[in-house]
């Protein structure tokens, strides 16, 4: 460049940068909020670790004093129960959520769509105690279905009846609890996926339509690929909710030992185990409950990290 830029001579004494009071207050406040989150998380983790310590110590010296004869023997069935119930809930809820979200964003008549959206959001507002009550009522109606499953699909371990051919007569089984969980996590997954679908770039949708795509083909070409990462994170958030859900499971499930069958009484989840036993627990028993709380904390942490990893991997670049 031939033109000379106006010369920039650094002033002899640097003038002080202007500090605006509003900006300073705002940045301090946001920083404080950010630090507070970290402190709370660290506090919870430390509390759980500290309170679980007696159990870990007992595991080393006298495992027989722990319920179930050892920490891992105690926590193992609970982990399985928690994961299985959450997994079934996801398995049931995800297709429905996808369907409802697609229907409300791309298929429903324009007058019906918002009504449906509100209804879904209302589902999220129902307290879990109410879901628990409703699940108890539902349970007894499911018994004939479970009996049918046990009769015709009893050879599959998850539908197996007991040795004398019986199934739970109250219907308060793992399957019922999981189904209620599915309904509980449905709204959160649906509304998150709906938000993602609403943000599909119009240009992408029109690109598909202009090629002669039908509505379903347009959804497959433009809406779903764009929403993949959003769908994944919605499912993971639903999983997080299902893992930690306490009240409904505690009320519905007639808990017991770990069993593969979902149509018999038995099994237990971590959150429900804590809620049911906490009021009478003291001493080592209390530490046990807190230690399984720590396990749940770690599981949800892993789930969330996995969710982040999936989102980072699948998010659509460009556009």
237 with 97: CB under 8 angstroms?
Answer: no
Q: Positive or negative, the Cα torsion across 60, 62, 65, 67?
A: positive
Given 80, 207, 281, 311, the residue binding other proteins (CB under 8 A)? 207
**Closer residue to other proteins (CB): 127 or 225:** 225
Given 78, 150, 222, 299, the residue binding other proteins (CB under 8 A)? 222
Given 108, 133, 136, 209, the residue binding other proteins (CB under 8 A)? 209
Of residues 182-201, which lie at the interface with other proteins (CB under 8 A)? 201
Length of the chain: 319
221 binds other proteins (CB under 8 A): yes
What is Dmax (Cα atoms) for the chain? 97
92 binds other proteins (CB under 8 A): no
| Residue 66: Cβ-neighbour burial (10 angstroms; 0-12, 13-18, 19+) | buried
Site mask for other proteins (CB under 8 A), range 93-112, x = bound: -----------------x--
Nearest to 218 by CA among 227, 93, 312, 311: 227
- Shortest gap between Cβ of 212 and other proteins (angstroms)? 3
Site mask for other proteins (CB under 8 A), range 126-145, x = bound: --------------------
**Closer residue to other proteins (CB): 35 or 316:** 316
212 binds other proteins (CB under 8 A): yes
In the chain, what are the helix, strand and coil shares in percent, each to the nearest 5?
A: 75, 0, 25
- How many residues of this chain interact with other proteins, rule: CB under 8 A? 24
165 binds other proteins (CB under 8 A): no
- Shortest gap between Cβ of 199 and other proteins (angstroms)? 14
Burial 97-124, CB ≥16 within 10 A → b, else e: bbebbbebbbebeeeebeeebeebeebe
Nearest to 187 by CA among 245, 146, 226: 245
Please give the Cα distance from 92 to 224 (Å, whole number): 19
- Shortest gap between Cβ of 206 and other proteins (angstroms)? 7
Given 210, 280, 282, 312, the residue binding other proteins (CB under 8 A)? 210
In what helix (H) or strand (E) does residue 202 lie, and over which residues does it extend? helix 202-210
Contacts with other proteins by CB under 8 A lie at: 110, 201, 203-214, 217, 221-222, 225-226, 228, 316-319
């Amino acid at each position: 460049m031939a033109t000379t830029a106006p010369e920039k001579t650094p002033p002899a004494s640097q003038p002080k940068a202007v500090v605006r009071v509003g900006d300073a207050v705002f940045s301090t406040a946001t920083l404080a909020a950010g630090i507070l989150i970290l402190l709370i998380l660290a506090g919870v983790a430390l509390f759980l670790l500290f309170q679980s310590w007696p159990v870990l110590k007992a595991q080393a010296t006298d495992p027989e004093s722990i319920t179930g004869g050892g920490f891992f023997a105690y926590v193992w069935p609970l982990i399985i129960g928690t994961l299985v119930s959450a997994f079934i809930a996801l398995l049931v809820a995800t297709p429905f959520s996808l369907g409802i979200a697609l229907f409300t964003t791309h298929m429903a008549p324009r007058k019906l769509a918002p009504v449906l959206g509100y209804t879904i959001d209302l589902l999220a507002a129902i307290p879990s105690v109410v879901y628990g009550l409703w699940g108890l009522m539902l349970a007894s109606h499911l018994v004939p279905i479970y009996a049918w499953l046990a009769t015709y699909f009893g050879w599959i371990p998850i539908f197996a009846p007991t040795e004398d051919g019986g199934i739970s007569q109250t219907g308060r089984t793992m399957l019922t609890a999981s189904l209620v969980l599915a309904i509980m996590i449905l709204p959160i997954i649906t509304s998150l996926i709906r938000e993602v679908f609403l943000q599909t770039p119009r240009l992408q949708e029109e690109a598909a339509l202009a090629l002669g795509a039908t509505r379903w083909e347009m959804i497959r070409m433009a809406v779903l690929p764009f929403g993949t990462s959003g769908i994944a994170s919605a499912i993971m958030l639903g999983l997080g909710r299902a893992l930690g859900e306490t009240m409904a499971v505690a009320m519905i499930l007639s808990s017991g030992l770990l069993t593969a069958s979902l149509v018999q009484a038995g099994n237990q989840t971590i959150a429900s185990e804590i809620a049911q036993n906490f009021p009478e627990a003291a001493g080592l028993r209390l530490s046990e409950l807190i230690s399984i709380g720590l396990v749940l904390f770690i599981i949800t942490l892993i789930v969330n990290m996995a969710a982040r990893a999936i989102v980072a991997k699948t998010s659509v670049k460009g556009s």
